[in-house]
């Protein structure tokens, strides 16, 4: 009874050529780089993947192409978070048909559901899903958090297999970890903010869904492995490198979009894929691109 | 140069029979009641219409059926707010083909767009829209508000024709009104919260998009007319009736869904339509339904 | 049984010469101007009076000097909001000894008290107060709001005489007004944000505690009287003047301090008092002062 | 050049007998227990000490009595956070006269100061302080956080010697740590939330200001020492004990006051001091006290 998903599962950005057009070659280069870097899986259509900004047609294409390229070498997970349960279920069925291994959902994000309503929602969703479900706690963008009571209930559902926590609230993470140790030792507890990968894994977390792993998968995999092995010195050192990356590349933009814009711009400079962004966002202007280039030089991320 | 939309334009609830099934007969009774009550238009697929919770197929059906039933007697407006610009544009085209008169959008609501990003978003959206656009300010549920500068810019776009403000912040409303008086006397400024209909119209607002008008259209139309005519005494009296309605029917539920649940439950008791709700919500339980029934008796809303 | 406090009761700024030194001559000019302008009372040591930033010694001096200058011509009210009940009670006793007519308090503002805790707090405070108490709802700066249930309870306490609401939430204001009409017709319901003075008074509110009345008392008194008399046209016109004042003078600063800084700077330009501010704030720099001067010219506020 | 303050410095609760009366014997027992438990210092008059709720007279008494009892055996630090700079400076002088070693301040907490205003505030405060200053980042209760730029500036001031971070945001903590390593290796970086003590110390933090150390100082000191020594296994185990304590004792209350109420109630059951609380709070009722007693039995905290 050990967690199925451990290690680094990057929340893959979605390479675009224009508004509704996937950059398929970029996607291929990106995926190959992540697999070469040792990642344990790929999480497509999450926040970093700009999923809510994409048309449903494009989301289906991302699923198909990702599965085609990965070709079973590592697990593919797919985000189905939506405001409409019916659309979530459609996407989950398409994912299952395409070879995806698990789906991931947070709460519906337009109406702020109360905890009993959120539980009823998950209860209604589960029978519609042909795949195991991982919960995704994302309070900055989703108005509802999964409470301790709700997670306790979720642990009683066989088809729910873990929690990705992007709250940045390690007290919450620790509480969920304590629950899982008592009730579901097979649950995977993955952390979102990459700055907290070392801390969580050193104390028993199972891995990270970290945006920066799109860019420099090896660094995050090495950090995970150091922390999982209890090597504090190396964890500290690599964690400082991650911090240096996030503090430089993710702070060029002014708005909430700064992280995704920074990652896409850096990937484009490294020659991996286009940096086109889905509305409401745009790629960085030349002045910001120059800053990203300078940061990349300092960070020495391998091309 | 006078505002095109004045008076009461109810944000229509979406009568459902089950998860993905429209209650067409209920829809017909509901629309006829509102037209009989003297409303100036119908706003379908807004927040009160649970639009984000509906499948796109169902949203298209709502548009078609509403236009078919209304049959040109009053204008139909349709909400196209979405996280994906591509899906917003699809819906707008469907609305135009079905006979809708204008579309309504707030900001995309997953990512919190900065003001420059929001402006770019509207700039990108406008050429995709075959219909005039009304902006919808909804900070409680949408993470981004339309700032004064953005609205000033919007007033320079011919195809943007007004603003519905559901912020509940009358200082904001007054500022926007002052801008419109100077720059776009043809803009419609409509208020969301029904408790503020009297105040805004007495001081020059153009009407309301008030949920309670699904239930008792005549009350809201009378209040609008009294306020527009400067009849303070009658405005006060009718406004107290509106307040009594909102404080009783909208406070039975515990969560953010209390308003929509209250309206749907009351409509169902009045025999107008089913009170099925789209996930993540459920209709009231019997105990709550009994409370709504008691309140309806006290309020003496005509069946 | 009519409300005791009606009309305009300006939240008086505290004229300072330096960190812990009152500008007594400025205070005298300011008070005389407000009395000449027809105000119905003076509210010292509120938010606009920077009360929490002043030493207790200085707060006592403000109380004494204000009462000395006013000399019984109009009522003086004094804010005793504090994080420490003991200090609130000290200040209230000093106020009573100096000739103050009523004290005003919001919730303690460091710890976020729950509603039952807040009720217990007021219960403990009341027997310590030698003067009637007005409640002050101020959610932007105080972490706790007075709920409808708490206000209902407060209406049963004889020594609580009204509510000043600075929430900017007119739905809340209307609900409290409805409660007062049913339970305490002698309660005074005063509105904080000056942009909402016309709306609230037209629909039955009793007046305003508006910062701008430090600067141009006559304008606010005229607006109050027009609205109280049901003169919609004049209310609209004067309300637009108030809006023009607030949108120009209060938007020069960048931070939460912009309103108080704007008022103090304008008063200093008009020759009424010094614009020194208590820490953590500073007076405007010369460039901002120039903007305020330009706005004053446009607004034609009498010197 | 090593940090002066390392290890556990409990934020001492203030034992009270009634509203304005210190429980001096309780204070003595409490302090002796903490010193016996191996704490590295005592932090009086912080949030856990209910400082903002106490009269200034009582705050001075707490300072004097604490210094008298401690008698130089360990350093005493004192919180001077206030809304009034003048009162903060008064308290700091009293602290210096009483033998305190350093003072601690967060931002003034009534007005939300902008970052430039906050920097000016600290600049004005520093020359008034006869003791070294530690910054206290406390965004849940203080409206302003110390930004990275402000902390960078603070690191250039010799008399500022460290940062206590109670934000619970480990990404922030890590960034500040990175700054300190580069610029001020003598700064102390202490964490507030006890659930994060293991994580921060394992990765280079210097200790904790943890409320639970009032109750079970030895547990927190042992955890600090295990983490500082890089003993991951023991850190995990003791950290689980801390989590069990916080999840049981701090969750009996319903409101923001639950933590302090829980600690005081537990101390009272252990016979250490009275559990009287300053307004706006009250001690637990008998039913809640019984729950705390049960939790104490389970936790096996030594009396």
pLDDT at C1 exceeding the cut of 90:
no
Contact B114/A256, CB-based, under 8 Å? yes
Each as own residue / partner, the long-range contacts of residues D97-102 (CB below 8 Å, 24 or more positions apart, any chain) are D98/D63, D98/D64, D98/D67, D99/D67, D99/D72, D100/D63, D100/D67, D100/D76, D100/D131, D101/D41, D101/D75, D101/D76, D101/D77, D101/D131, D101/D132, D102/D5, D102/D75, D102/D77, D102/D78, D102/D131, D102/D132, D102/D133, D102/D134, D102/D161
A59-78 mean pLDDT: 98
Q: What percent of chain D has pLDDT over 90?
A: 96
Task: Identify the CATH number of the domain in which residue A204 sits.
Answer: 3.20.20.70
Report the relative pairing of strands B16-18 and B21-22 from DSSP bridges: antiparallel
Report the mean per-residue pLDDT for chain C: 96
Interface with B, mutate which of A84, A107, A146 (most B CBs under 10 A):
A84
Nearest CA in chain D to C280: D121
Model confidence pLDDT, tens digit, residues D244-282: 999 999 999 987 789 999 999 999 999 999 999 999 999
Cα–Cα–Cα angle for B285, B288, B294, rounded to 5 degrees: 140
Label residue D76 by pLDDT band (50, 70, 90).
very high
Label residue D1 by pLDDT band (50, 70, 90).
confident
Label residue B117 by pLDDT band (50, 70, 90).
very high
Put simply, whether A55 touches B (Cβ < 8 Å) is yes
Residues of B in contact with C202 (CB under 8 A): 199, 202-203, 232
Distance CA B143, CA B121 (A): 14
Choose the closest CB to B108 out of A90, A116, A280: A280
Residue A277, in any domain of the structure:
no
Distance CA D137, CA C226 (A): 49
Contact C199/B195, CB-based, under 8 Å? no
Chains C and B contact (Cβ–Cβ under 8 Å for 3 or more pairs) = yes
Q: What percent of chain B has pLDDT over 70?
A: 100
Cβ distance A161 to A132 under 8 Å? Answer: yes
Residue D18, in any domain of the structure:
yes
Residue A279, in any domain of the structure:
no
Label residue A302 by pLDDT band (50, 70, 90).
confident
D178: tokens are 């990175």
Q: How far is CA B160 from CA A101, B172, B179, B188, in A?
A: 45, 19, 14, 10
Could you list the beta-strand ranges (E) of B48-101.
76-79
Model confidence pLDDT, tens digit, residues D53-65: 999 999 999 999 9
Interface with C, mutate which of B195, B211, B246 (most C CBs under 10 A):
B195
Range of the structural domain that residue D42 is part of: 7-231
Residue B266, in any domain of the structure:
no
Residues of C in contact with D257 (CB under 8 A): 111, 113-114, 117
Nearest CA in chain D to A238: D203
Residues of C in contact with D141 (CB under 8 A): 110-112, 143
- Chains A, B: CB contacts under 8 A, how many? 136
Residue B129, in any domain of the structure:
yes
Model confidence pLDDT, tens digit, residues D216-243: 999 999 999 999 999 999 999 999 999 9
pLDDT at A256 exceeding the cut of 80:
no
Q: Give residue C198's pLDDT.
A: 97
**Residue whose token pair is 């050990």:** A2
Q: What percent of chain C has pLDDT over 70?
A: 100
Model confidence pLDDT, tens digit, residues C17-71: 999 999 999 999 999 999 999 999 999 999 999 999 999 999 999 999 999 999 9
Put simply, whether D210 touches A (Cβ < 8 Å) is no
Nearest CA in chain A to D205: A236
Binning chain B into helix, strand and coil, the percentages to the nearest 5 are: 50, 10, 40
* Chains linked to B by 3 or more Cβ pairs within 8 Å: A, C
Put simply, whether C55 touches D (Cβ < 8 Å) is yes
Q: Tally the domains of chain D.
A: 1
Put simply, whether C121 touches D (Cβ < 8 Å) is yes
CA of A233 to nearest chain B CA: how many angstroms apart? 37
Residue B261, in any domain of the structure:
no
Q: Give residue A185's pLDDT.
A: 96
C138-145 mean pLDDT: 91
Q: Give residue D107's pLDDT.
A: 96
Residue A251, in any domain of the structure:
no
Interface with B, mutate which of C165, C175, C232 (most B CBs under 10 A):
C232
Report the mean per-residue pLDDT for chain D: 96
Is-above-0.80 flag for pTM? yes
Distance CA D15, CA D266 (A): 12
Residues 150-169 of D with CB under 8 A from A: 168-169
pLDDT at C303 exceeding the cut of 90:
no
Residues 223-252 of A with CB under 8 A from D: 230, 232, 235-236, 239-240, 243-244, 247
Cβ distance B97 to B152 under 8 Å? Answer: no
Residue A191, in any domain of the structure:
yes
Model confidence pLDDT, tens digit, residues D5-24: 999 999 999 999 999 999 99
């Amino acid at each position: 009874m050990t967690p199925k998903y451990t290690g680094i599962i990057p929340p893959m950005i979605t390479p675009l050529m224009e508004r509704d057009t996937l950059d398929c070659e970029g996607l291929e280069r990106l995926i190959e780089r992540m697999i070469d870097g040792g990642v344990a899986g790929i999480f497509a259509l999450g926040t970093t993947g700009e999923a809510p900004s994409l048309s449903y047609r494009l989301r289906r294409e991302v699923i198909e192409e990702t599965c085609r390229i990965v070709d079973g070498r590592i697990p593919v997970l797919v985000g189905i978070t939506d405001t409409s349960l019916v659309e979530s279920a459609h996407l989950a069925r398409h994912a299952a048909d395409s070879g995806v291994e698990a789906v991931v959902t947070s709460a519906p994000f337009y109406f702020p559901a109360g905890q009993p309503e959120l539980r009823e929602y998950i209860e209604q969703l589960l029978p519609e899903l042909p795949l195991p479900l991982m919960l995704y706690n994302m309070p900055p963008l989703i108005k509802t958090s999964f409470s301790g009571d709700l997670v306790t209930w979720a642990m009683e559902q066989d088809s729910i297999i873990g929690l990705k926590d992007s709250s940045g609230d390690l007290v919450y993470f620790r509480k969920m970890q304590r629950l899982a140790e008592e009730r579901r030792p097979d649950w995977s507890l993955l952390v979102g903010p990459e700055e907290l990968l070392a801390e969580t894994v050193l104390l028993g977390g199972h891995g990270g869904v970290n945006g920066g792993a799109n860019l420099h998968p090896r660094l995050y995999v090495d950090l995970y492995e150091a922390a999982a092995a209890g090597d504090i010195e190396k964890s500290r050192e690599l964690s400082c490198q991650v911090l240096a990356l996030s503090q430089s590349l993710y702070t060029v933009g002014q708005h909430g979009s700064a992280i995704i814009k920074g990652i896409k711009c850096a990937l484009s400079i490294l020659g991996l894929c286009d940096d086109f962004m889905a509305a409401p966002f745009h790629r960085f202007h030349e002045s910001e691109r120059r800053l990203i280039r300078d940061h990349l030089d300092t960070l020495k991320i391998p091309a």
